[in-house]
């Protein structure tokens, strides 16, 4: 009899605890759903407003100058759409973090918190890459146009473009905290290698070969520059002569009138008398 009473008491207390847990979880779950719904509405609204603002500010022109529009030609979204999608999902992650927070400390909230904290750095890194590519394309066009008549103009423009893009990528990786233990030493090693080649090669045993090579490069550059300068001078002279108004021809000396009733001009045959 005593054992049956103890079992009934244990069963009753267990049922009471389970019911109390359910009664505590149900409001938390409802709050979880409400926070998610509000976060979804806010994310949609902010993404829509941001899309209109960025397009009015000319984000697609920046994408075209950076060359991103060409890479995204076959994609479903353009650069502005991708940025708005990133912001949309970032706000959803924030809402999800808040929603899971109603259940107390949990591993999912910690993981989402790390992702949300990293997202602003990722957005800044993407902006750095886009701006660096836009600057690199502009500099390449300027250098290529300025040296279009030389044989080395395209090479110099391409090397300049690659150098600026590489700096932008390294800065973006450093901003995002990605492979900082690799990009920093790689950059230092590249700069040290260039400095070592210049010190040992140019200032050491390769002085004479490098001098002859530099003389040849400078002679070629001087000849091409002189040729471009001469062609520009001839083109400007031709344009000036073409635009110069024609001068009227003036007749100098006394005019001689001939015809019936006038004496013949000196030194001419008067002809037979009529």
Query: What are residue 251's phi and psi, to 5 degrees?
Result: -105, 125
Average pLDDT, the chain: 74
177 phi-psi bin (left φ>0, alpha ψ -120 to 50, beta other): left
Which of 6-15, 43-52, 108-117, 200-209 has the least mean pLDDT?
Answer: 6-15
Which of 13-27, 69-83, 157-171 has the least mean pLDDT?
Answer: 13-27
Question: Mapped to the 3 state alphabet, what secondary structure does the chain carry?
Answer: CHHHHHHHHHHHHHHHHHHHHHHHHHHHHHHHHHHHHHHHHHHHHHHHHHHHHHHHCCHHHHHHHHCHHHHCCCCCCCHHHHHHHHHHHHHHHHHHHHHHHCCCCCHHHHHHHHHHHHHHHHHHHHHHHHHHHHHHHHHHHHHHHHCCCCCCHHHHHHHHHHHHHHHHHHHHHHHHCCCHHHHHHHHHHHHHHHHHHHHHHHHHHCHHHHHHHHHHHHHHHHHHHHHHHHHHHHHHHHHHHHHCCCCCCCCCCCCCCCCCCCCCCCCCCCCCCC
Cβ atoms of 133 and 160 closer than 8 Å = no
Return d(Cα 226, Cα 210) in angstroms, integer: 24
Neighbours of 46 (CB within 10 A): 15
The residue length of the chain stands at: 274
**pTM of the predicted model over 0.75:** no
Question: Position of tokens 């090669």?
Answer: 201
Closest CA to 165 of 209, 123, 132: 132
* Whether residue 6 has pLDDT greater than 50: no
pLDDT in tens, 36-69: 899 999 999 998 898 888 888 887 777 777 777 6
Question: So where are the chain's domains?
Answer: 182-235
What's the gap between Cα 53 and its chain centre? 19
Q: Among 32-46, 72-86, 236-250, which range has the highest average pLDDT?
A: 32-46
Neighbours of 28 (CB within 10 A): 12
pLDDT value of position 84: 86
pLDDT in tens, 220-237: 777 877 777 766 656 666
Which of 92-96, 114-118, 156-160 has the least mean pLDDT?
Answer: 114-118
pLDDT value of position 45: 92
Return d(Cα 197, Cα 194) in angstroms, integer: 5
Return d(Cα 147, Cα 214) in angstroms, integer: 18
What's the gap between Cα 271 and its chain centre? 90
């Amino acid at each position: 009899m005593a054992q049956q009473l103890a079992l009934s008491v244990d069963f009753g207390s267990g049922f009471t605890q389970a019911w109390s847990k359910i009664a505590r979880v149900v409001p938390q779950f409802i709050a979880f759903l409400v926070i998610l719904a509000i976060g979804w509405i806010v994310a949609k609204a902010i993404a829509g407003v941001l899309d209109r603002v960025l397009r009015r500010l000319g984000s697609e022109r920046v994408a075209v100058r950076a060359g991103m529009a060409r890479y995204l030609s076959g994609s479903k979204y353009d650069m502005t759409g991708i940025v708005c999608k990133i912001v949309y999902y970032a706000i959803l992650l924030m809402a999800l973090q808040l929603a899971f927070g109603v259940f107390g400390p949990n591993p999912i909230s910690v993981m989402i918190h790390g992702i949300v904290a990293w997202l602003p750095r990722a957005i800044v890194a993407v902006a750095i890459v886009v701006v660096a590519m836009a600057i690199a394309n502009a500099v390449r066009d300027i250098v290529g146009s300025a040296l279009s008549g030389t044989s080395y103009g395209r090479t110099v423009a391409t090397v300049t473009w690659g150098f600026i893009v590489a700096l932008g990528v390294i800065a973006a990786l450093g901003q995002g905290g990605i492979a900082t233990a690799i990009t920093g030493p790689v950059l230092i090693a590249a700069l040290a290698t260039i400095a070592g080649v210049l010190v040992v090669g140019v200032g050491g045993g390769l002085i004479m070969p490098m001098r002859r090579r530099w003389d040849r490069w400078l002679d070629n550059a001087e000849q091409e520059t002189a040729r471009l300068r001469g062609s520009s001078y001839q083109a400007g002279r031709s344009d000036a002569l073409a635009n110069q108004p024609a001068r009227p021809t003036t007749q100098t000396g006394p005019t001689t009138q001939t015809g019936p009733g006038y004496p013949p001009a000196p030194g001419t045959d008067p002809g037979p008398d009529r």
